[in-house]
Chain A
């Protein structure tokens, strides 16, 4: 029986991989007709680089000359941004507020490793309650809402037509926020479903299901009106994410359906897919859009984009069980997760090469474009987090790193280093566009970047080292367990220090976003469309 399963897997896997190459070859031979890549920029047109926060030096450095924009294109773009204004602001502003709250939770949790007796008289301020509060606030409040906001802003631009039914998404943001408030209250009061990433009680999950589905309505309403004959790769990622997430969330949260070992499998299938099929595609959609936009060049290769997207779709949904390596689950599920985890190097490498070759030769832009700095750093850390994840799924590495702080460092490399940092960049880019108001204090953007870049570097390196020492101590049966605690303890100060810088950066960011929103509320936004209509 096991032998049959093995061969089935081996054969399906090879067929999948060959199919992937076949798809790419077919596109190469233009068998997809008009759908193939179509290049609106010709070589001499490239080079108009933009960043709402950069100085005119950016353009000078890239050797580009300002060109007066085509009025028709400009009008369309302005119409797109205005159409998404309501839902984008609803999602982005909520996300930033949850980010501030979630980071403070994280910082307090981290301090508890240094001061275990601090804040222990109230049940809701103990570690066991604050840790899930941190995780769920940053995952569902910050990352998810920021991702949906960015996606809703990108959609009309990608489809070149105003967003239809934006109000559905605004209502979605309302439902989502109600879910967040209720969920936060529930966790604080000790009411939880008790599984990591699925903590919010299922009775409250309905708000997220409704909120998420409403957020996807404009996508379905707008797609039929698209004015492009070819979907840019960012659109693929957004469509994928908005379809995948509600399914994952509903399946994993159905009460009284999952039990025992199977429940653990569903738990980690879900938890990893939140990263891989929700945060990752939304983050990649933003990176794929903003990199070429800012450096003023087309993405290096259409086929690489497709290879990256389809191999992510093919492999990601099976990697989650690598969280249970060594656990009492069937061996073939673990092997399947290891093979697909390692296979993730294909989409990751494809995306990394594609982004790198797009920016290659224009890295000088980084010195002058703060937004690009966020996006490029985020994209690089995506590559790093993914390769690290593939390695961690190998049994030999996993025995050392499992159950240690190393895993937490890795989680932040993906969720923070990649997704959060890309969303920071995207929000800096989109806010002036949807509000028509410029950023009030540009130097604050650099302050934000410096704080989080330094903070995250300290956070990640110290926690990684601490985790490895902890793992070594735990593996050595001749050392008492407390050795593993004392080996990691000094390094946990690094997390607190780095996390403090990151949290300060988030507060700076939140103040800046708040100030921009206030100005936008006071001053009527600039708009071409309004003048013309």
Chain B
């Protein structure tokens, strides 16, 4: 058999490397990258700089500043307790959950809304010309007076509403009056209690 019949016989020498140097461009690249790397380390890791991979600082991770007056964030209470039904934009769901945005009850007498949140509401109520007959649960045991005042102040001042904040003492007053009271029977009872 002739060696050229073997696949190996058709090959050249084993590969080698020519003793050439590193081209200048490549050496230049090494220098540039080293300088950039050192600069990045020095500027990205250091005192007072974001210690977390998502670039948040320790300060950003602190709980948000408590709002002035009352000390409770009404927006947070709203998101946690009311938005599931009345929706984040306060427009409710047609036919089921009445809107808070532009509602005459929300911007009306604060005792009435405090009563709704404290005892809950069932039976007919007319909001912005539409009648609802559904059930809203009581928040008597879930929310403190301060929280109720904060969330009412929040809805009265959001979604285009522009009514005055509700003081905590007012909520405390309503709570004392309606101690143990069953859910309000529609707007009829509401208007009767707080004309």
By the criterion CB–CB under 8 Å, are A299 and B18 in contact? Answer: yes
By the criterion CB–CB under 8 Å, are B30 and A436 in contact? Answer: no
Q: Which of A50, A330, A349 contacts B26 (CB 8 A)?
A: A349
By the criterion CB–CB under 8 Å, are B52 and A331 in contact? Answer: yes
Question: B132: shortest Cβ distance to chain A, in Å?
Answer: 28
Complex Cα distance, B34 from A17, in Å, reads 6
Q: Count how many chain B residues have C-beta atoms less than 8 Å from C-beta atoms of the other chain.
A: 47
User: Interface-forming stretch among A68-76, A413-421, A467-475, A488-496?
Assistant: A68-76
B8 within 8 A of A: yes
A78 within 8 A of B: yes
Complex Cα distance, B54 from A395, in Å, reads 10
Q: Which residues of chain A come closer than 8 Å to B5, judged between CB atoms?
A: 526
Q: Which of A14, A71, A289 contacts B38 (CB 8 A)?
A: A14
Known interface pairs A232-B15, A334-B53; A302-B20 also in contact (CB < 8 Å): yes
Complex Cα distance, B54 from A321, in Å, reads 12
By the criterion CB–CB under 8 Å, are A327 and B54 in contact? Answer: yes
Q: Which of B15, B23, B47 contacts A304 (CB 8 A)?
A: B23
Q: Which of A50, A300, A334 contacts B10 (CB 8 A)?
A: A50
By the criterion CB–CB under 8 Å, are B50 and A331 in contact? Answer: yes
Which residues 30-87 of B sit at the A interface, judged by CB distance below 8 A? 30-31, 33-34, 36-38, 40-42, 44-47, 49-55
Known interface pairs A6-B45, A38-B16, A69-B3; A342-B36 also in contact (CB < 8 Å): yes
Question: For residue A64, which residue of chain B has the nearest CB?
Answer: B12
B141 within 8 A of A: no
Question: For residue B18, which residue of chain A has the nearest CB?
Answer: A298
Question: A328: shortest Cβ distance to chain B, in Å?
Answer: 6
Question: For residue A302, which residue of chain B has the nearest CB?
Answer: B17
Q: Which of B11, B21, B31, B34 contacts A293 (CB 8 A)?
A: B11
A345 within 8 A of B: yes
Q: Which residues of chain B come closer than 8 Å to A291, judged between CB atoms?
A: 15
Question: For residue A48, which residue of chain B has the nearest CB?
Answer: B12
Question: For residue B10, which residue of chain A has the nearest CB?
Answer: A50
A272 within 8 A of B: no
Q: SS class of chain A's interface: helix, strand, loop or mixed?
A: helix
By the criterion CB–CB under 8 Å, are B26 and A41 in contact? Answer: no
Q: Which residues of chain A come closer than 8 Å to B11, judged between CB atoms?
A: 48, 50, 69, 77, 293
Of B19, B21, B49, B51, which is in contact with the most chain A CB atoms at under 10 Å from its CB?
B19
Complex Cα distance, B2 from A233, in Å, reads 32
Q: Which residues of chain B come closer than 8 Å to A157, judged between CB atoms?
A: 14
B94 within 8 A of A: no
| Contact mask for chain B residues 88-106; partner A; CB cutoff 8 A; 1 contact, 0 none | 0000000000000000000
B27 within 8 A of A: yes
Q: Which residues of chain B come closer than 8 Å to A300, judged between CB atoms?
A: 17-18, 20
By the criterion CB–CB under 8 Å, are A21 and B27 in contact? Answer: yes
A220 within 8 A of B: no
Q: Which of A37, A71, A289 contacts B18 (CB 8 A)?
A: A37
Q: Which of A158, A303, A305, A330 contacts B51 (CB 8 A)?
A: A330
Complex Cα distance, B11 from A296, in Å, reads 9
Q: Which residues of chain B come closer than 8 Å to A52, judged between CB atoms?
A: 7, 10
By the criterion CB–CB under 8 Å, are B41 and A326 in contact? Answer: no
By the criterion CB–CB under 8 Å, are A17 and B33 in contact? Answer: yes
A353 within 8 A of B: yes
| Contact mask for chain A residues 17-40; partner B; CB cutoff 8 A; 1 contact, 0 none | 110110010001000000011111
B22 within 8 A of A: yes
By the criterion CB–CB under 8 Å, are B7 and A232 in contact? Answer: no
Complex Cα distance, B30 from A78, in Å, reads 41
By the criterion CB–CB under 8 Å, are A339 and B3 in contact? Answer: no
Complex Cα distance, B25 from A307, in Å, reads 13
Question: For residue A338, which residue of chain B has the nearest CB?
Answer: B40
Complex Cα distance, B27 from A299, in Å, reads 18
Q: Which residues of chain A come closer than 8 Å to B36, judged between CB atoms?
A: 339, 342
Question: For residue B55, which residue of chain A has the nearest CB?
Answer: A331
Q: Which of B4, B12, B30 contacts A296 (CB 8 A)?
A: B12
By the criterion CB–CB under 8 Å, are B41 and A10 in contact? Answer: yes
Counting from the closest, the 4 A-B pairs by CB-CB distance are: A17-B34, A6-B45, A292-B15, A302-B17
- 22 A-B residue pairs with Cβ-Cβ distance under 8 Å, sorted by A, are A2-B47, A6-B41, A10-B38, A10-B41, A17-B34, A21-B27, A28-B22, A36-B19, A39-B19, A45-B13, A52-B10, A73-B13, A78-B8, A296-B12, A298-B15, A299-B16, A326-B55, A330-B51, A339-B41, A346-B30, A436-B7, A528-B3
9 other contacts beyond A292-B15, A331-B50, with CB at 8 A cut-off? Answer: A6-B46, A14-B37, A17-B30, A24-B21, A74-B9, A81-B8, A296-B12, A326-B55, A350-B22
